Structure 1
């Protein structure tokens, strides 16, 4: 650790020879008197007395008093402890996974842990804390802690270079033998600043809030329709057979929409519950595609869309959950038939993944319809995001299909790639690792 100018000013040096002679002046005076008495009373040669006095003076100037040396050394060590944290504090701070700064009461950085260096870049001991932490609210809280000796916890947000949220815990540290104590107050020897990144937590909270709001909105519409038609059937249309049949058909459609939405929400919740559990079973992608194509063949005939498959002769084996991968395949094929049905065909292929080398497999679902504009591609897997709300509801979409696909593929450590141009259709490719 380099020595800063502050530390150099604070260091205490031991007394010089002249200072030691001044401090031992009474001893030397007594020695001079004893030498004079020895010459006058006991007839000791004056040369012997003078040499003995000079030897005593030399010893006094060369050797400091042991008690004084210990006292000065203790003062020196205490001053150094107040200026720079000791090894124990450094080891403790380095063990923290969050960025941590150790500063003195003036806001000068005395030590930073590795997490702080990784996040904030080069932070040098001796620089002001404001060089790394520029949030005004944090610096104001630091000054309050330095003045009052009471710990504080604050939160703040940043907009540049991207939106982020942080929380900091600022606590005073009183060293043994320092100028103050936690009970009596006083100026802290050090102030500990621990910074926690709350961005991901805030993002999840916002996503959860948006999801609840969107789900409530999606359920409110069919519920309002059902309530309105029930009131009409109980009132004005009570004896109208034609109206009753027409309204019951609409009510059945709205109830089916609610059922599909609730099924997708429950499915998404189940997937999220085991998001960190990697599948261990081996499944054949080609067999899954055949199963999905057969299951969706009636829908293809209804929409006048043909499903074409291109599958390898050998088994395309990947690690995965069979039911979830069937859900992924059916969602992608069904979306291609509904929203790209104007091309009259959907092509489903399984081949070696060029992106992951020869070990991986790629499932590709391609339609030849109208395509998707570039500005919509990054948001297609968001919950309840729709390119065209009206057509999605007409085609009985819930807005959760691709969100379910994304969560399933995240659990399988697979990657979804979407390529589309208006007028040229869209291709949804799933790259599975080895």
Structure 2
């Protein structure tokens, strides 16, 4: 994919525009010499004056209205040189297309003159002839561009974009001088073109964050089970060495702590993998109805063990959304598992899929999971999706929770540009509702799905909307 052909790029050079008076002025010395020569001929040979005047006048007319070949050539070369300053040549375009990152070629005024295929894909709506600021809106980048235009030097900057997800970028900005129009000897001249190459650093930064977060979280959360295992091992080696009953009891606790460590590590790694690709929107489609039925079948044994029932209400038609099927199953399983564990006071858990058409231009599929347990106190709602946050620590550990389930849900939904709403009243249970963009209608705009960074409480502190980071 290449930039659209410009009508100016191969336009013929403009014709010579020098006026007749200017042309006569260019040959004024020739005309003066001819006048002197004609006067001498009249004096020496007695030629009629009018004949000499006619000859000089004819020479002036020819000079005024018949442009010289060299002048036309100079004007044509000047026009071609000016045209090259406005639009990059084929060689420059081929070189920019071969670069492995989105690249823009702009002139000294900040007007986009060319963009390679990767830039066209990464920045929709790029058009040669539009200001560069239409595509690249980072203030630091535009300031660096102005500095390159003014000084003729090179710049390298990094910046972060928060919407729709947190991404890191690096830009290399360098001037381009055409042959014969390079830097002046006395100070820099304005570059003919500016090359802006964009590099996506998001994956590298997320890998770095994943490593640091894993170390921090592992050292914090694994310390307790490790201390327990160490204490029990020392006990088994010492006082309980010959006590079979104590050994059996301690080994059971040790197995439970080891299982807790395994779940923590699995959830931490799962969360890190999700964060690593949070900036990449899914391209596949999935049927929410099939996801829900699969989850209900998978969670039925757990519900049976807890003397509960999973009830599903799904539409007749497919509830198709853009998303990763496995990740959507993970979201549904986490929500249903939480509902079974913390809503066990009720007798069943409801899973409902519905189409929200209250706003015609923002239709969405809703996936709601409701339990009939104790509910969640209002002060805990804004922090539910934080890592390792537990509204009830004792209950969470008794249920073998890691405190990462809703954090995983939040990051998956951020990647899918979906929204999580929590509606809970103490004593009446909780409803976790996920709103997906509808592929059959108008999807959410990327900048409007999240809105605020944090969670906002409404309905007397009983409702929470969890959106983009």
TM-score range, shorter chain: 0.5 to 0.7
Q: Which one is further off, 365-374 or 70-79?
A: 70-79
Per-residue Cα deviation, 1:359-406 (whole angstroms, up to 9, x for no partner): 998664322233224565566455544333443122211234345556
**What are the equivalent positions in structure 2 for 1:321-332 lying under 5 Å apart?**
331-332=334-335
Over aligned residue pairs, what C-alpha RMSD do you find? 5.5
Where does the alignment leave 5 or more consecutive residues of structure 1 unmatched?
2-12
Q: Secondary structure at the match of 2:222?
A: helix
- Output aligned runs, 1:144-183, within 5 Å: 147=151, 151-156=154-159, 165-180=168-183
* Structure 1 pair 77–316 and aligned structure 2 pair: CA distance change class (3 A): closer
Of 399, 405, 409, the match for 1:401: 405
- 1:216-227 to 2 correspondences below 5 Å: 216-227=219-230
Change over 3 Å in CA distance of 1:157–1:120 after alignment to 2: farther
CA contact (8 A) 1:286 1:316 kept: no
> Structure 1 pair 397/37, CA: closer, same or farther in 2 (3 Å)?
same
**Partner residue in 2 for 1:421:** 425
- Aligned match of 1:60: 63
Which of 328, 337, 341 pairs up with 1:338?
Answer: 341
Which entry has the higher C-alpha Rg, 1 or 2?
A: 1
Higher helix share: 1
Partner of 1:25: 28
**Pairing 1:228–2:231 present:** yes
Aligned residue among 294, 297, 303 for 1:296: 303
Distance 1:267 1:159 in 2: 23
Question: Does residue 348 of the first structure (1) align with residue 362 of the second (2)?
Answer: no
1:222, 1:257 within 8 Å by CA — same for their partners in 2?
yes
Alpha-carbon distance change, 138 to 205 in structure 1, aligned in 2, over 3 angstroms: farther
Number of corresponding residues: 404
1:308-327 correspondence runs (5 A): 309=311
- 1:12-91 map, 5 Å: 16-36=19-39, 38-40=41-43, 43-75=46-78, 77-78=80-81, 81-82=84-85, 84-86=86-88
Judged with a 3 Å threshold, the aligned counterparts in structure 2 of structure 1 residues 88 and 110 are, in CA distance, closer, same or farther, namely farther
1:385/1:202 Cα in 2 relative to 1: closer, same or farther (>3 Å)? Answer: farther
Whole-angstrom CA distance in 1 between matches of 2:268 and 2:162: 32
Equivalent-residue separation in structure 2 for 1:161 and 1:334 (angstroms): 29
State the SS of the aligned residue for 1:50.
helix
TM-score w.r.t. structure 1 length? 0.67
1:192 aligned counterpart, secondary structure: strand
1:217 to partner: Cα distance: 3.3
Q: Tell me if structure 2 keeps the 8 A contact 1:145–1:152.
A: no
- Matched residues in 2 for 1:126 and 1:279: separation? 39
| TM-score (normalised: structure 2) | 0.63
CA distance in 2 between partners of 1:93 and 1:133 (Å): 25
1:260 aligns with 2:267: no
Cα offset, 1:141, TM superposition: 8.1
SS in structure 1 of the partner of residue 340 of structure 2 = helix
| CA–CA distance in structure 2, aligned partners of residues 37 and 316 of structure 1 | 107
Matches within 5 A, 1:85-164: 85-86=87-88, 100=104, 102-104=106-108, 108-111=109-112, 134-135=139-140, 139=143, 143=147, 147=151, 151-156=154-159
Partner of 1:190: 193
